[in-house]
């Protein structure tokens, strides 16, 4: 019986090994298919421009340079963030640019300490290269603050602004509205489990390892877009290695330093608290669409600040509230987001 048992165990181990190899083979084939899809799309839509300060990567849909919509994604997102909506705007007559800002997507972290206004110079260089004089500039979260910095520096190049849960109120004011318990909960959320930190911020031997790990979390058909965030250096691959530290948001201690002692950190990291929407939009000359998430678990309550901003320019500012999301409206309720966006653009 002992020999039979060992034989059976051996067979089971062999079957398990073969099954794992089949699964790995299937996953690798899925990886190669996703890679091919990504490469075809990139060939048609990807562009890069050497700006005044740094090389900027972007995706482009459409060719009309008279009506242009520029999208600036939020933290840890890439230019593919606007992929679900781009073609709809193209059909409405727009050229769409979705831009990877510093350290995001396929734009690397600059070696010099550049800030949001330096990025504004680089975005202007992208527009110049593409012979775009003016654009509607939109952004989500951090991207909203980048959009405000761009308007601050180049108001004459902006036809209108779309600010989704970012860029319309001073960043630090969002925390002044939190009580001690809310702030404690927020800071605790900044430090994810070790395995999540490893997945997001480690360096890997190949992009296949990253794809395999991401696929275990999200095996959706759109997973090919993850390649739009994978960078390569010294024969290694990584997603967001160094990005959390670049933003000075890697843990609660650094985040508190960002909020309370911005003069002690980098120009880039402190940019988000140095953007002053109240001052920038005091002499507003273009329409703004404020997209405000007010879902149950909304950490950043900007309602009052947005209402105050709208009261300064009621003829120019449209304030839309969405209870379907606690932050990312365009992800949680894409159809509602697209409808409000297109309605706004039609009226320009």
- Co-location of 215 and 323 in the same domain: no
The pLDDT of residue 92 = 97
5, pLDDT greater than 50: no
57 and 111, same domain (yes or no): yes
Per-residue pLDDT of 182-225, as tens digits, reads 888 888 888 778 888 888 899 999 999 999 888 877 766 678 99
Residues 154, 62 share a domain:
yes
Per-residue pLDDT at 88: 98
Nearest-angstrom CA–CA distance, 59 and 80: 8
Determine what percent of the chain is predicted with pLDDT higher than 90. Answer: 78
Which pLDDT does position 189 carry in this prediction? 80
Could you give the CA distance from residue 200 to residue 192 in angstroms, rounded to a whole number? 10
Q: Is the predicted pLDDT of residue 8 greater than 80, yes or no?
A: no
* Domain presence at residue 269: no
pLDDT for residue 22 = 44
pLDDT reading at 14 higher than 60? no
DSSP characters over 274-290: H--HHHHTTT--S-EEE
Write out pLDDT tens, residues 265-276: 999 999 999 999
> Domain range spanning residue 336?
44-170+275-346
DSSP state of 190: T
Tell me the C-alpha distance between 160 and 318, whole Å: 11
pLDDT at 1 over 50: no
Residue 188 in domain = no
Are 163 and 91 part of one and the same domain? yes
On the question of pLDDT at 135 being above 50, the answer is yes
> Taking 90 as the threshold, does the pLDDT of residue 279 lie above it?
yes
- In a domain, residue 117? The reply is yes
Helix axis angle, 194-201 to 207-217, nearest 10° = 140
Instruction: List pLDDT tens digits, range 152-178.
Output: 999 999 999 999 999 999 999 999 888
pLDDT at 180: 84
Number of structural domains (the chain) is: 2
Whether 162 maps to a domain, the answer reads yes
Statement: residue 102 has pLDDT above 90: yes
Q: What is the DSSP letter of 34?
A: H
Burial of 292 (0-12, 13-18, 19+ CB in 10 A): buried
Q: Quick: pLDDT tens for 51-78.
A: 999 999 999 999 999 999 999 999 999 9
Tokens of 236: 């290694």
| Alpha-carbon dihedral sign for residues 200, 204, 208, 213 | negative
Q: Are residues 134 and 59 in the same domain?
A: yes
Residue 185 is predicted with a pLDDT of 84
Q: Given pLDDT bands bounded at 50, 70 and 90, which one contains residue 6?
A: very low
146 and 227 fall within a common domain: no
- Please compute the mean of the pLDDT values over residues 5-11 and round it to a whole number: 42
Same domain, 309 and 166: yes
Q: Are 279 and 151 in contact (CB under 8 A)?
A: no
- Report d(CA 300, CA 309) in Å as an integer: 16
**What does the mean pLDDT of the chain come to?**
91
Task: Kindly state whether residue 290 falls inside one of the protein's structural domains.
Answer: yes
- Does the pLDDT at position 21 exceed 60? no
Interval 312-343: pLDDT, tens:
999 999 999 999 999 999 999 999 999 999 99
36 belongs to a structural domain: no
Bridge partners for 264 per DSSP: none
For residue 103, the domain's CATH number is 3.40.50.1820
Determine the Cα–Cα distance for residues 140 and 168; give it in Å rounded to an integer. Answer: 11
pLDDT at residue 179, as a whole number: 83
Q: How confident is the model at residue 49 (pLDDT cuts 50, 70, 90)?
A: very high
Under 8 Å between Cβ of 131 and 124: no
Cβ atoms 98, 71 nearer than 8 A: yes
Instruction: Say if 113 falls within a structural domain.
Output: yes
What the block records as the tokens of 345 is 């653009």
Backbone angles phi, psi at 103, to 5 degrees: 80, 0
Both 146 and 286 in one domain: the answer is yes
Say yes or no: 93 and 214 in one domain.
no
Which is more confidently placed, 344 or 10? 344
**Integer CA distances (angstroms), 294 to 237, 300, 326, 328, in order:** 37, 9, 6, 10
pLDDT at 104 > cutoff 50: yes
Region 240-266: mean pLDDT is 95
3-state helix, strand, coil in the chain (%, to 5): 55, 15, 30
Does any domain span residue 190? no
- Domain end: 194, 225, 240, which one? 240
CB proximity list for 48: less than 8 A, separation 6 or greater: 55, 56, 57, 58, 106
Q: How far is 133 from 70, CA to CA, in rounded Å? A: 12
Looking at residue 299, what is its pLDDT? 72
Q: Is the pLDDT of residue 89 over 90?
A: yes
| 52 and 166 fall within a common domain | yes
Contacts of 185 by beta carbon, 8 Å cutoff, 6+ apart: none
Residues 281 and 158 grouped into a single domain:
yes
**Whether residue 165 is found in the same domain as residue 279:** yes
Structure tokens at 151: 């308007």
Structure tokens that stand for 277 in this block: 């929407």
């Amino acid at each position: 019986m002992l020999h039979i048992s060992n034989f059976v165990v051996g067979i089971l181990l062999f079957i398990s090994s073969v099954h794992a190899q089949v699964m790995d083979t299937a996953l690798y084939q899925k990886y190669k298919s996703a890679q091919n899809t990504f490469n075809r799309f990139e060939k048609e839509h990807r562009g890069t421009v050497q700006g005044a300060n740094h090389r900027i990567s972007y995706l482009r849909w459409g060719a009309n340079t008279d009506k242009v919509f520029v999208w600036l994604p939020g933290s840890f997102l890439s230019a593919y963030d606007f992929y679900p909506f781009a073609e709809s705007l193209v059909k409405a007559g727009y050229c769409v640019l979705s831009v990877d800002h510093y350290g995001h997507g396929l734009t690397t972290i600059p070696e010099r300490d550049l800030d949001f206004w330096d990025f504004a110079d680089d975005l202007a260089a992208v527009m110049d290269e593409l012979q775009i004089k003016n654009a509607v500039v939109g952004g989500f979260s951090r991207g909203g603050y980048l959009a405000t910095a761009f308007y601050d520096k180049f108001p004459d190049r902006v036809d209108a602004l779309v600010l989704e849960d970012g860029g319309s109120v001073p960043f630090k004011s969002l925390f002044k509205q939190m009580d001690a318990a809310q702030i404690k909960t927020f800071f605790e959320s900044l430090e994810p489990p070790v395995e999540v930190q490893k997945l997001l911020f480690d360096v890997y031997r190949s992009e296949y390892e990253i794809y395999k790990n991401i696929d275990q979390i999200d095996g959706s058909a759109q997973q090919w877009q993850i390649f739009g965030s994978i960078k390569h250096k010294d024969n290694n691959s990584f997603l967001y290695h160094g990005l959390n530290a670049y933003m000075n948001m890697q843990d609660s201690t650094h985040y508190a330093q960002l909020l309370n002692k911005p003069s002690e950190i980098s120009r880039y990291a402190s940019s988000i608290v140095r953007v002053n929407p109240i001052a920038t939009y005091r002499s507003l000359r273009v329409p703004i669409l404020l997209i405000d998430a007010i879902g149950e678990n909304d950490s950043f309550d900007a309602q009052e600040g947005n209402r105050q901003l709208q009261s300064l320019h009621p003829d120019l500012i449209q304030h839309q509230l969405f209870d379907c999301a606690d932050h990312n409206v365009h992800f949680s309720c894409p159809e509602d987001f697209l409808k409000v966006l297109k309605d706004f653009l039609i009226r320009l």
